[in-house]
């Protein structure tokens, strides 16, 4: 008896690369406008040309396939093209958050073992100089003239016409994005090309209600979630309108002037718009889709937004480690019972709610959101122990606690690390925040625990009132007690002018805890 050796057939498709998707998209609509900003516009063809020029000058600086490159920039077409040139050249991008600290940025570059850092010299010249001084000889390259390094824009202009090429392979690392670092040092979240291209195109087009030929206003940093909408918009033949920084009046003027059809905000941006009297005098009739995410939105303020802006709201939920996870579509917002929900899992992600032992919780009970899917990270960069812990039970543990109703809609009650144990009872801050925000005078609320000898942790709240509104801490305490009972009632309510936020626009409870209870540890 003879045994035949069978050679397996080669895989016909091993996964897309970002370069192949981006260049194919740009070549499809050469004459259309891809980007519009305060400095001008860029056609699809000119965008592809700039990516090719950047590839040429990056190679001239010795940057080649397999390296990792940090990028620090605001919302600009040039920065997006530089990032695409890095990935299409087979290197990995790692965006530095434009509002991050210099210490965290230097840590990120060192942890990444970056080969270079590209910095937008127009808006970040001072930080570029600080990085060049503190990064121990790491080349810092400028987008524009600067004192800290060569001008890549000038070199790209002098390079002449260079055809952009996809030099990457599917197995190359495409992206190492770092978490916000509110619970310690930022962690690098690593993905290869198939995962990044899946998130950047397939997941967005499959589950988000992106309009045809959209006019997208990108005002949140495109280094983070707002950037995941750029390629889907271009794939639909649309235009990305870039604002570098959030200013409520400029946002309203741009929506009206440019007939914007979609945008993406974090809740604090929505609240700021709702608090502007100019909102009701602005023509927002072109707006079809307002995506919001990054943190929960107060149900009462969401209802106000739908009344004043229109039935255009759609919530996205995900995190750096897995994006997207769920979506609450526009039509879902017509159901009052779903106002606090983050929606139903997207079609490409498998979601299970698990208890602390890795068992699925009974229907209606809170459990940690644990996920599997092609958009999940591969690992935490150089942290195998943390990676193994995060993937316990064969799924990525998000750290978010949620309940699921009989239809599968998820309602996040809080982060596992944010849950307060007061007097032996579990208190989920999100439920207390929603109760506070339902008071007519409250614009924003944050609830957290402070170490307390009697209670273990004392439920504590910080609120910002609406313009012209008044409310005493005692009145707000009574309001929560009437709605939620004694256990969830804050022991103290602090009325502040504003709430601190992290670099990604989330309310920074760590900073609040430090400011309001500097001697406590929680």
Does 294 fall in a domain? yes
Does 309 fall in a domain? yes
Residues 278, 374 share a domain: yes
pLDDT digits (tens, 9 = 90+) for 126-170: 999 999 999 988 999 999 999 999 999 999 999 988 999 999 999
Query: Kind and range of the H or E element at 398?
Result: strand 396-404
Phi then psi dihedrals of residue 8, to 5 deg: -65, 145
List the structure tokens of 108: 């990120």
DSSP code of 188?
E
Q: How far separated are the first and last CA of the chain, in Å rounded? A: 71
- Higher pLDDT, residue 27 or 456: 27
pLDDT for 2 beyond 90: no
Domain limit, last residue, from 167, 194, 221: 194
Mean pLDDT value of segment 330-336: 95
| Alpha-carbon span 56 to 65, nearest angstrom | 13
pLDDT digits (tens, 9 = 90+) for 123-137: 899 999 999 999 988
Q: Give the confidence band of 17 by pLDDT, cuts at 50, 70, 90.
A: very high
Residues 80, 111 share a domain: yes
CATH code of the domain containing 51: 3.40.50.980
Closest to 418 in 3D by CA, of 459, 375, 371: 459
pLDDT digits (tens, 9 = 90+) for 197-246: 999 888 899 899 999 999 999 999 898 889 999 999 999 999 999 999 89
Q: What is the pLDDT of residue 522?
A: 39
Does 11 fall in a domain? no
Closest to 368 in 3D by CA, of 414, 327, 304: 414
Q: Could you tell me the residue range of the domain that residue 370 belongs to?
A: 208-415
pLDDT for 326 beyond 90: yes
Phi then psi dihedrals of residue 111, to 5 deg: -60, -35
Residues 389, 451 share a domain: no
pLDDT digits (tens, 9 = 90+) for 482-520: 888 787 899 999 999 999 887 666 788 888 888 887 665
Q: What is the pLDDT of residue 186?
A: 82
Quickly tell me which residue has 């524009």 as its tokens: 144
The mean predicted confidence, pLDDT, of the chain is 90
Residues 491, 437 share a domain: yes
Residues 141, 22 share a domain: yes
Q: Give the confidence band of 13 by pLDDT, cuts at 50, 70, 90.
A: low
Does 375 fall in a domain? yes
Residues 377, 256 share a domain: yes
Cα-based angle 257, 261, 262 (whole degrees, multiple of 5): 115
| Alpha-carbon span 299 to 276, nearest angstrom | 19
Mean pLDDT value of segment 88-114: 92
Does 3 fall in a domain? no
Q: Give the confidence band of 434 by pLDDT, cuts at 50, 70, 90.
A: confident
pLDDT for 363 beyond 80: yes
Residues 359, 224 share a domain: yes
Q: What is the pLDDT of residue 510?
A: 82
Does 521 fall in a domain? no
For residues 449 and 382, is the Cβ–Cβ distance under 8 A?
no
Does 497 fall in a domain? yes
Q: What is the pLDDT of residue 259?
A: 98
Pairing of strands 173-178, 344-345: unpaired
pLDDT digits (tens, 9 = 90+) for 257-303: 999 999 999 888 898 999 999 999 999 999 999 999 877 788 888 99
Residues 298, 166 share a domain: no
CA distances from 32 to 66, 130, 204, 215, 419 (A): 33, 39, 21, 12, 49
Residues 280, 241 share a domain: yes
Residues 426, 371 share a domain: no
Where helices occur in 2-101 by DSSP H, the ranges are 18-28, 44-60, 77-88
CATH code of the domain containing 474: 3.30.300.30
Q: What is the pLDDT of residue 455?
A: 75
Domain limit, last residue, from 137, 160, 194: 194
Q: Give the confidence band of 116 by pLDDT, cuts at 50, 70, 90.
A: very high
% of the chain exceeding 70 in pLDDT:
93
How many structural domains compose the chain? Answer: 3
Residues 398, 270 share a domain: yes
Contacts of 391 (CB under 8 A, 6+ apart): 397
Residues 367, 347 share a domain: yes
């Amino acid at each position: 008896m003879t045994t035949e050796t069978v050679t397996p057939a080669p895989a016909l498709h091993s996964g897309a690369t970002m370069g192949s998707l981006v260049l194919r998209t740009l070549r499809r609509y050469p004459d259309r406008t891809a980007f519009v900003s305060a400095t001008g516009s860029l056609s699809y063809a000119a965008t592809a040309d700039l990516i090719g020029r950047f590839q040429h000058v990056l190679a001239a600086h010795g940057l080649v396939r397999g390296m990792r490159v940090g990028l620090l920039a605001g919302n600009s077409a040039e920065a997006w093209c530089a990032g695409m040139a890095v990935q299409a050249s087979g290197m990995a991008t790692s965006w530095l958050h434009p509002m991050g600290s210099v210490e965290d940025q230097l840590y990120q570059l060192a942890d990444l073992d970056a080969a270079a850092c590209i910095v937008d010299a127009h808006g970040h010249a001072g930080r570029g100089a600080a990085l060049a001084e503190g990064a121990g000889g790491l080349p810092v390259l400028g987008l524009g003239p600067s004192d800290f390094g060569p001008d890549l824009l000038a070199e790209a202009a002098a390079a002449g016409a260079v055809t952009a090429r996809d030099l990457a392979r599917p197995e190359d690392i495409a992206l190492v994005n770092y978490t916000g670092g509110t619970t310690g040092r930022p962690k690098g979240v690593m993905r290869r090309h198939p995962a990044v291209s899946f998130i950047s195109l397939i997941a967005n087009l499959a589950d988000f209600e992106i309009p045809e030929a959209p006019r997208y206003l990108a005002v949140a940093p495109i280094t983070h979630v707002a950037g995941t909408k750029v390629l889907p918009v271009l794939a639909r033949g649309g235009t990305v309108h870039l604002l570098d920084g959030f200013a409520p009046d400029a946002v309203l003027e741009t929506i009206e002037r440019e007939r914007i059809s979609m945008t993406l905000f974090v809740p604090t941006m929505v609240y700021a718009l709702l608090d502007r009297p100019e909102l009701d005098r602005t023509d927002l009739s072109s707006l079809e889709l307002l995506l919001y995410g990054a943190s929960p939105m107060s149900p009462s303020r969401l209802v106000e937004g739908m009344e004043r802006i229109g039935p255009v709201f759609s919530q996205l939920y995900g995190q750096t480690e897995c994006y997207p996870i769920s979506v609450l579509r526009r039509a879902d917002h017509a159901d009052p019972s779903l106002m606090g929900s983050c929606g139903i899992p997207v079609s490409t992600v498998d979601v299970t709610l698990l208890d602390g032992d890795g068992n699925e919780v009974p229907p209606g009970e809170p459990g940690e959101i644990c996920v599997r899917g092609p958009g999940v990270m591969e690992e935490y960069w150089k942290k195998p122990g943390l990676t193994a812990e995060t993937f316990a039970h064969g799924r990525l543990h998000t750290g978010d606690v949620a309940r699921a109703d009989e239809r599968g809609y998820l309602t996040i009650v809080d982060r596992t690390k944010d849950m307060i144990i007061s007097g032996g009872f579990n208190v989920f801050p999100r439920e207390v925040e929603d109760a506070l925000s339902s008071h007519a005078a409250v614009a924003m609320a944050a609830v957290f625990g402070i170490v307390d000898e009697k209670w273990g942790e004392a439920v504590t709240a910080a609120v910002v009132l609406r313009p012209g509104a008044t409310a005493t801490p005692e009145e707000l305490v009574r309001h929560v007690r009437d709605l939620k009972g004694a256990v969830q009632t804050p022991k103290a309510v602090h009325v502040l002018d504003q709430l601190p936020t992290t670099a990604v626009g989330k309310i920074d409870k760590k900073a609040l805890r430090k400011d309001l209870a500097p001697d406590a540890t929680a």
